[in-house]
Amino acid sequence: MDYRVLGKTGLRVSVLGQGGAAFGQQYGAVSPEEVSACVRHAVDRGVNLFDTAAYYGKGVSEELLGAALAGGLREKVFICTKACRLDRALFDFTAAGTRACVEASLKRLRTDHVDILLAHDIEFADDYDFVFNETYRELERLKHEGKTRFIGMSCYPLPLLKRAIETCELDAVISYAHFTLQNTRLLSEFLPAAEARGVGVMNASPLSLGLLTHQGPQAWHPAGADVRAACKAAAELCAARGADISDLGMRFALAEARIPTTLSGAARASELDANLNALGAPPDAALLADVLKVLEPVRDATWPCGNWKG
């Protein structure tokens, strides 16, 4: 496992981080035993960054991760969790709501602090100035109190995330689905500003919420029909060559040296192994070139998210 420094935090994080959405039953049922085995296997293989959220399974992800890390593993890893989003359509960015969410998360995680705390999916806020003032100040207070070592925010629209790091003194952020085979806007539109400010960038969803998989995305996926069709064609091209687009996509993301860590969810040890295998070598150059040609008509296409109108 290789490690890279996460911006000004100084944390040396594994280039492959473990996302916790699947632990929250977001993609199907998974047992506590399977989660525990996956977490132990990840730590054994050198993964030291675990990302979760109060939203994932309404706390189930944090609860299962906390149980899996009990007995000595907590001291070997960095935990990133996210507050303010409580359910699919339930958010609370107030200072009191943020604090209550964090206190509950710490209990579920069985720890007195997390390493990184983010305001979750800020594009769903009704008032971004409120988030950049009231929510941000509460994050700072929680940091000062030792509830978290570092603070940040997460969201899908890159212009809003850029505004966040320009307005607030953040340590780290999570951007998702913006550094994939289909969309590399993270490098061109956000990373320079983050690097200038020393903000650590965690790249999530390198397979674009299932778009870049053989089975394709779930019905709720917000991508347009043109993006879905192009990604399906790219997956079929890989299959015809005896390859898996998921493996190609993971290798593509993990090979980018400017991105400190890429988060990819796995609910079971066998699924984690597929991600770990992608660390072995860069993507096949010829296959990558052909896949990028198929995806060229929808290069960097995005979708609306939250209340952001920019």
Sequential pLDDT tens for the chain (310 residues): 999 999 999 999 999 999 999 999 877 889 999 999 999 999 999 999 999 999 999 999 999 999 999 989 999 999 999 999 999 999 999 999 999 999 999 999 999 999 999 999 999 999 999 999 999 999 999 999 999 999 999 999 999 999 999 999 999 999 999 999 999 999 999 999 999 999 999 999 999 999 999 999 988 899 999 999 999 999 999 999 999 999 999 999 999 999 999 999 888 999 999 999 999 889 999 999 999 999 999 999 999 999 999 7
DSSP three-state, residue 261: strand
263 near 52, Cβ under 8 Å? Answer: no
Distances (CA, A) of 238 to 139, 241, 283, 285: 44, 5, 12, 13
What gap in Å lies between CA 222 and CA 209, rounded to an integer? 10
Furthest CA-CA distance within the chain? 55
Query: What's residue 28's pLDDT?
Result: 80
What gap in Å lies between CA 8 and CA 14, rounded to an integer? 16
Distances (CA, A) of 146 to 43, 50, 116, 184: 25, 19, 11, 35
DSSP three-state, residue 263: strand
Boundaries of every domain in the chain: 3-209+249-282
What gap in Å lies between CA 115 and CA 4, rounded to an integer? 16
DSSP three-state, residue 10: coil
Residue 56 annotated in active site: yes
Structural element, H or E, at residue 172? strand 172-176
Query: What's residue 218's pLDDT?
Result: 87
Structural element, H or E, at residue 6? none
According to DSSP, residue 299 is labeled T
**CA–CA–CA angle 161, 166, 172 (5° rounding):** 60
Query: What's residue 37's pLDDT?
Result: 96
- Is domain 3-209+249-282 annotated with CATH 3.20.20.100? yes
**Kind of pairing, strands 114-119 and 148-155?**
parallel
147 near 79, Cβ under 8 Å? Answer: no
What gap in Å lies between CA 84 and CA 90, rounded to an integer? 9
Tokens 């994939």: give the residue. Answer: 180
**CA–CA–CA angle 156, 160, 162 (5° rounding):** 105
Query: What's residue 261's pLDDT?
Result: 98
User: For 57-94, where are the alpha helices, taking DSSP H only?
Assistant: 60-69
Question: Which position among 55, 56, 136, 156 bears the catalytic label?
Answer: 56
Strand partners, 13: 4
